[in-house]
Amino acid sequence: MRVRIQEIMIDCHNPATLARFWADLMKCRWGSIDERLAVVEAEPVRLTFQRVPESKQVKNRLHLDVQVADADEACARAIDLGAQRSGQQQLDDASNGYVGMLDPEGNEFCFVVDNAGGWEQLATEALAQNDSRTVTASSTSRTL
């Protein structure tokens, strides 16, 4: 069986509300599994929202980068849906870069603009350099 990330699980207070926000933002389908879980079809992985009793306390250790062609347009749309700007942003003269945002429950995410392809090229080159260093579990053994 191929190992892959099935979904990204996000803790929240109101799964259906947050799933609806993300589905509207990403223009994709969503559904409630029950009052504790809701899921968004955000290809290539699912976003799943699970109800938890505690509130968000600190900065997320993981956040979503959402690629868009126009940061201003994406931010305006997200704000209309209930998001807010985090105050962090780095855009060059051609508007390539990122804008930090907060979803309706305060989870961080970024709108990323890479119209020049610079980030995609850097990531592709880094992965290609490491192809020869990739080790699979079947090709190694470890004695504990």
Better-predicted residue by pLDDT, 63 or 143: 63
Q: Is the pLDDT of residue 134 over 80?
A: no
Q: What is the mean pLDDT of residues 11-33?
A: 96
Better-predicted residue by pLDDT, 6 or 84: 84
* pTM listed for this prediction: 0.83
| pLDDT single digits (tens) 36-56 | 999 999 988 999 999 999 888
CA dist 143 and 129 (Å) reads 29
Q: 3-state SS of the chain: helix, strand, coil percent to 5?
A: 30, 30, 40
CA dist 32 and 23 (Å) reads 12
Q: Tell me 138's DSSP state.
A: G
Q: Are 34 and 48 in contact (CB under 8 A)?
A: no
Task: Tell me what pLDDT residue 144 has.
Answer: 39
Q: Tell me 56's DSSP state.
A: P
Predicted confidence band of residue 68 (pLDDT cuts 50, 70, 90): very high
Task: Tell me what pLDDT residue 143 has.
Answer: 41
Tokens at residue 82, please? 């209930």
Poorest-pLDDT segment among 22-31, 36-45, 53-62: 53-62
124-141 burial, b if ≥16 CB within 10 A, otherwise e? eeeeeeeeeeeeeeeeee
